């Protein structure tokens, strides 16, 4: 079967979006596992709009011209902020449908970038239904947060940069990367880039395990959603296109409790001054909590993918 997204697609996507995005840095830091090699953190939380989502947003808008009605997206917050940011930079109208659980900070960011933010229901799935109805009526360009080749290829550019920069800096390559999972856009992009050369491990909250359940069932299934990270990792069902890539190139999925995610947020702040939202800290939580354990000499990379934390809530967790 022909791969829906290949390394060649991702390289072409990077050449197209490179003038619009930040090449986010990597940080070598000590591992939470005693005696283990240093961990490579890809600091994608420093990307425009505060998450990796800007990559897919720009790739969509630069390859699929928007009609007069502009573009539309459903989002727990990060994808919406990214689409709003990219649309603003490219002069495109944007309407973003968010669920009631979206943080006030993320909704404010969407509006600050010049897009219209509409509450589309209680959950992310409800917001997607509202968005789909609007697209059908108005003829706007739908920018899906994860189940679209343009979104996946855009997300995969983060892995391309990571690998290139490790080589450029003379650092050891990676054996395994840990990637947080919501609907599957990021992990399928990363997995499509590495294509089996590097082990890819997904990380999901225990209360929001769409990819874990899909791999168990042999295909996407609906799951209940309830987690501190639900506004970014709260997809009810992993995308079918994403699942097709993940079942080929993702080795396993680790589940982490919310307490471990909060502890990882604290640790990233105290040890590296990183303000990560819950979803952005989830991958590190798997390593720090022992939910996933590397082999003795395994060289591990962790993708810190989002910074759009509610600052009042973040201050409380630090206390």
Phi, psi values for residue 27, rounded to 5°? -130, 125
Taking only the tens place, the pLDDT of each residue in 30-65 is 999 988 999 999 999 999 999 999 999 999 999 999
CATH code 3.40.50.920 for 53-142: no
List, for the chain, all residue ranges whose pLDDT scores fall below the cut of 50: none
Report pLDDT for 103.
81
Tell me the CATH class for 7-52+149-318.
Answer: alpha beta
Cα–Cα nearest to 78, from 231, 189, 201: 231
Cβ-contact 228, 280 below 8 angstroms: no
Distance of CA 127 to CAs 72, 121, 186, 204, 222, Å? 11, 5, 20, 21, 16
Q: Which residue has the tokens 């934390």?
A: 309
**Distance separating alpha carbons of residues 107 and 96, to the nearest angstrom:** 9
| Cβ neighbours around 216 below 10 Å, total | 11
Report pLDDT for 274.
94
Taking only the tens place, the pLDDT of each residue in 81-105 is 999 999 999 999 999 999 888 888 8
- Can 7-52+149-318 and 53-142 be said to share one CATH topology? yes
Q: Which residue has the tokens 């390289």?
A: 11
Domain range list for the chain = 7-52+149-318, 53-142
């Amino acid at each position: 079967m022909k791969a829906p997204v290949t390394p060649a697609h991702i390289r072409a996507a990077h050449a197209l979006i490179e003038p619009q995005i930040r090449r986010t840095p990597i940080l070598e830091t000590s591992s939470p596992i005693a005696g283990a090699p240093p961990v490579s953190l890809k600091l994608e939380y420093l990307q425009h709009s505060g998450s990796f989502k800007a990559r897919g947003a720009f790739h969509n808008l630069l390859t699929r011209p928007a009609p007069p009605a502009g573009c539309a997206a459903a989002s727990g917050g990060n994808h919406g902020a990214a689409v709003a940011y990219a649309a603003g930079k490219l002069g495109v109208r944007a309407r973003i449908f968010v669920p009631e659980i979206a943080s006030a900070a993320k909704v404010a960011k969407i509006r600050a970038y010049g897009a219209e933010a509409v509450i589309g229901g209680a959950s992310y799935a409800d917001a997607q239904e509202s968005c789909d109805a609007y697209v059908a009526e108005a003829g706007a360009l739908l920018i899906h947060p994860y189940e679209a080749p343009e979104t996946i290829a855009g997300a995969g550019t983060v892995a391309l940069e990571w690998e290139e920069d490790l080589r450029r800096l003379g650092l050891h390559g990676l054996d395994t990367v840990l990637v947080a999972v919501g609907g599957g856009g990021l992990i399928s992009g990363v997995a499509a880039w590495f294509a089996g050369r590097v082990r890819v491990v997904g990380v999901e909250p225990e209360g929001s395990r769409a990819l874990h359940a899909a791999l168990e069932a042999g295909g996407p299934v609906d799951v209940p959603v309830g987690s501190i990270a639900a506004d970014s990792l709260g997809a009810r069902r992993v995308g079918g296109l994403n699942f097709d890539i993940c079942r080929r190139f993702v080795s396993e999925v680790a589940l982490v409790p919310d307490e471990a995610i909060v502890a990882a947020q604290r640790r990233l702040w105290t040890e590296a001054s990183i303000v990560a939202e819950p979803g952005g800290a989830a991958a590190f939580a798997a390593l720090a909590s022992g939910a996933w354990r590397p082999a003795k000499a395994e060289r591990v990379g962790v993708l810190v993918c989002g910074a759009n934390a509610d600052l009042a809530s973040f201050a409380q967790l630090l206390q």
